[in-house]
Amino acid sequence: MTSAPVRHPWTLVARRELATKLVDRTFLVGTLLTLALIVGIVVVQAVLSERAETYDVVATAPATAMAETVAERATDLDEKVRVTVVPVPDDAAAEAALEDEEADAWLTTRDGTWVLVGYDDVPRDLEDVTATVVRDVTVTENSAAAGTSVESITAGSELDTEVLVGDAEQRDFALGVAFALAFLFYLSSVVFGMTLANSVVEEKQSRIVEIIATKIPVRQLLAGKVLGNTVLAVGQMALYAALGLIGLTFTSFGSFLPSVTGALAWFLVFFLVGFLLIACLWAVAGALASRTEDVQSTSTPVTLLLIGIFFGSAFLDGTAQTVMSYVPPASAVLMPQRILEGDALWWEPVVALVLLLVAAAAVILGAERLYRRSLLQTQGRLSMREAWSAPE
């Protein structure tokens, strides 16, 4: 009794790709290490964002009152700054305390000017707090001496800041997220792509593919391999993104998450289509090779393309970034990046996604022909031109 033929052979290939990867120790260890790295980064960020810094400031008798005022008001001005005053008898003792690293700074006055002295550096947050206190105290004393009020002297002298688009800290956060996503796209494309290419050439080199091709149409084999690896890559990316979002809720950046969740959803959609396109190119790179040693050469164009996309996401801005965010496959990274930065109108990702889908369809058709005509060619490494014109 013969078994019924499989209606969609590509599903068998896809399931085999999934099953093979999910029990592969290298894949599992790599995924767990990446998850641990994400957790570690989030934990470090949470600790750093909550940690208060305590500074020991030495002062001689003439500066002790000012130093104590700085200590009293430091936490009110910056909740992460605490100041402890260490009285010293003279300037020599203050310098010795800095040289022996027994103090972080020395507050003194010279020729009517307050000076904050450090050994080789003055902490920026301590400098900001001290400057504010010194200014407030000095203005109060000068206004009292002039027989007027602080409010009268400082009226109209305040400086407020604002930005035309968004919030500066939020924008920096968005840029950091965009860079992380671009790096993950590059990493996933290289890791899964190289695995896919090696899998193709190993089956070709061992001649197993000749047996498989008698049972399954070659285009079905290509579809199964590409879709199986795409499911794995997208699933892994979604896992990383979810863990990162959960972790960020425990940091000072938690308030920014609502502003980036929509962009992350767009990124996963663009990642799905973009990776599908790139995976087809990796499969072709494997089919063009006849030995495992040839893959590095046949995959060079794909690797250079991914490097270009990654560096483009890091360095392109302005008009160049806008234009390239519509150009597949760079749009898979650059358009989500623009969404994160708040530079894209609502219709722009839709247009970019349509263009990416069209490009992916064209690449799939071309890759199918190249893959089909080169997979059974074992006489040596093929060029794309040779594969394109090779007989079936």
Interaxial angle between packed helices 168-205 and 257-288, expressed in degrees from 0 to 180 and rounded to the nearest 10: 20
Task: Specify the higher pLDDT residue, 222 or 209.
Answer: 222
* Token pair belonging to 45: 């960020």
Q: What is the pLDDT of residue 163?
A: 43
Task: Specify the higher pLDDT residue, 149 or 278.
Answer: 278
CA 155 to chain centre: 45
How much is the mean pLDDT over the chain?
83
Query: Residue 91 class from Cβ within 10 Å (0-12 exposed, 13-18 middle, 19+ buried)?
Result: middle
Sequence-ordered list of residues with C-beta below 8 angstroms from that of 157, at least 6 positions apart, any chain: none
Q: Among 31-40, 52-61, 65-74, 375-384, which stretch is predicted with the lowest mean pLDDT?
A: 375-384
Mean pLDDT of all residues in 161-178: 64
Is this structure's pTM higher than 0.85?
Answer: no
Question: DSSP letter at 342?
Answer: T
- Residue 164 — pLDDT band, cuts 50, 70, 90? very low
Q: Specify whether the CB–CB gap between 233 and 275 falls below 8 A.
A: yes
Query: What CA–CA distance (Å, rounded) separates 199 from 96?
Result: 67
Mean pLDDT of all residues in 207-233: 84
| pLDDT tens string 293-316 | 888 888 899 999 999 999 988 888
Q: What percent of the chain has pLDDT over 90?
A: 18
| Alpha-carbon distances, residue 5 vs 1, 8, 129, 149, 226 (angstroms) | 12, 9, 77, 94, 22
| Alpha-carbon distances, residue 199 vs 44, 113, 287, 289, 377 (angstroms) | 38, 72, 10, 11, 16
Q: What is the pLDDT of residue 330?
A: 93
Q: Specify whether the CB–CB gap between 334 and 182 falls below 8 A.
A: no
Q: What is the pLDDT of residue 309?
A: 92
**Confidence check: pLDDT of 49 > 70:** no
Helices and strands, counts by H and E, the chain = 16, 4
Q: Residue 241: left if φ>0, alpha if ψ -120 to 50, beta else—which one?
A: alpha
Q: Specify whether the CB–CB gap between 316 and 326 falls below 8 A.
A: no
Q: Among 164-173, 198-207, 230-239, 274-283, which stretch is predicted with the lowest mean pLDDT?
A: 164-173
Alpha-carbon torsion angle 232, 234, 237, 241, nearest 10: -140
